[in-house]
Amino acid sequence: MQRLKKIYLEKIVPSFMEHFNYVNIHQVPKVQKIVINRGLGEMYQNSKILNLSIDELSNISSQKPVVISSTRAISGFKVREGMFIGISVTLRRDKMYAFLDRLVSLALPRIRDFQGLNIKGFDGCGNFSLGLTEQLMFPEISFEQVIHLQGMDITIVTTSKTDKEGRFLLKELGVPFSR
């Protein structure tokens, strides 16, 4: 069993039931999934960078990403219908808890001048989104293999109904928020 899942079941669920006065254990919010997105930007024409980006994201998430293609042509961005414009990974269950544990304990502390995540990343329904500017903060990525620095968007989807519940859940899981 993953470390964060064990912490959730043993410590967070009882504290949630006490703090929010829940009667049933199924009312307690939980992390449903984590979605990692990476847009290719102007490098959509280079298939080598697409393959390297797929390899990096699969090393980070331990799951093969899905390549996203454009649904329509946009001439202002020189995008044609069917071009590969991004990659995405959806993590659930044990892989989700393993990624969240690595993100909180290894990757975020490696960011230079890190002061915590902005609370404004909540969407009103308890889901949290954050953007990372580079992939070098993950220990799975070696500096020598990186050709181009690319960021990624990470969305943590919870079953909570309000931002207060979502913030309490993520703070108990160890996500560092700024003051």
Residues 6+ apart with CB under 8 A from 36: 57, 60, 61, 65, 88, 89, 91, 99, 152, 153, 154
CATH code for position 33: 3.30.1440.10
Q: Is residue 111 a part of any domain in this protein?
A: yes
Q: Is residue 154 a part of any domain in this protein?
A: yes
How far apart are alpha carbons 80 and 112 in whole angstroms? 38
Residues 6+ apart with CB under 8 A from 67: 50, 54, 84, 86, 87
Q: Is residue 52 a part of any domain in this protein?
A: no
pLDDT of residue 89: 92
pLDDT of residue 118: 81
Q: Is residue 28 a part of any domain in this protein?
A: yes
Q: Is residue 140 a part of any domain in this protein?
A: yes
Q: Is residue 97 a part of any domain in this protein?
A: yes
pLDDT of residue 90: 92
In contact, 37 and 116? CB cutoff 8 Å: no
**What is the residue range of 19's domain?**
3-39+86-173
pLDDT of residue 33: 93
Structural domain total, the chain? 1
Q: Is residue 60 a part of any domain in this protein?
A: no
How buried is 133 (Cβ within 10 angstroms: 0-12 exposed, 13-18 middle, 19+ buried)? exposed
Report the alpha-carbon angle 105-163-34, nearest 5: 45
C-alpha 125, offset from chain centre: 17
Instruction: Show pLDDT as tens, one digit a residue, over the chain (179 residues).
Output: 678 888 888 888 888 888 888 888 888 898 899 999 888 766 656 677 777 878 888 888 888 888 877 777 776 666 677 777 788 899 998 888 988 888 888 877 777 777 778 888 888 888 889 888 876 777 777 666 766 677 788 899 999 888 888 888 888 888 888 77
